[in-house]
Structure 1
Amino acid sequence: MGNSIKSAQFLIDARLSRAAAGSAEECFDLGVAYSCGTGGVVIDLIEAHKWFNLAALRGSEQGQSMRAEIAEEMTAREIAEAQRQARAIIATTQLRAA
């Protein structure tokens, strides 16, 4: 069982790297993982909203839809935190690209 947890964490880490670099599909996949608890992650709606938001900003219509759907289950503070985290990733990736 330890190997499956390590394997799942490796896949999440790889997705995080690709998503932060600009892949809308990877952002969406991370949003799904965090909203459903798949891929070895714990359900975290703030993380899910953040990744769906980034997917939406990168052109994903599914990201827009899922972001709106999970926002209905979140408090205003949770949404604000997810947005703050998304902005931080955008700022970081823009700095690396410059």
Structure 2
Amino acid sequence: MARFEMLESGFGTMGATAQADVLLELGMMYATGRDCDPDVVAAHKWFNIAAIKGSGRAAELRSELSATMSKADIARALREAREWMTMH
């Protein structure tokens, strides 16, 4: 039984890491305009959510992106991230 619990807890961690990686990729997609129009607000939103899920790289990219954004755009991105987190 103890082995099962340890294994199960490891899967939960792997899932969170994988989810953060996918969210980081969404941020990269919007930041670079890969397969879509570039959108810094959407990029910041996804970097923020990925950072909350544990991605250090997403936190770094969010910080770099914030330096180029207006306060209004940052506020909008944070609001959208909060809304997404509330819904999911």
* TM-score class normalised by the smaller sequence: 0.7 to 0.9
2:34 corresponds to 1:23: no
**Distance (Å, rounded) in 2 between the aligned partners of 1:23 and 1:92:** 16
Q: Does 1:59 align with 2:48?
A: no
Higher-Rg structure is 2
Gaps of 5+ in 1: 1-21, 94-98
Query: How many residues are aligned here?
Result: 71
Q: Any idea what the Cα deviations from partners look like across 1:10-68, whole Å, max 9, x if unmatched?
A: xxxxxxxxxxxx81111100000000011x11100000000000000000000000000
Superposed CA RMSD: 1.1
Distance 2:73 2:22 in 1: 22
Show the counterpart of 2:30: 34
TM-score (norm 2): 0.78
Large movers: runs of 4+ above 2 Å: none
Among candidates 54, 66, 80, match of residue 71 of structure 1 = 66
Q: Could you tell me which of 53, 77, 84 is aligned with 2:79?
A: 84
Sequence identity (%): 35
Structure 2 unaligned residues grouped into runs of 5+: 1-17
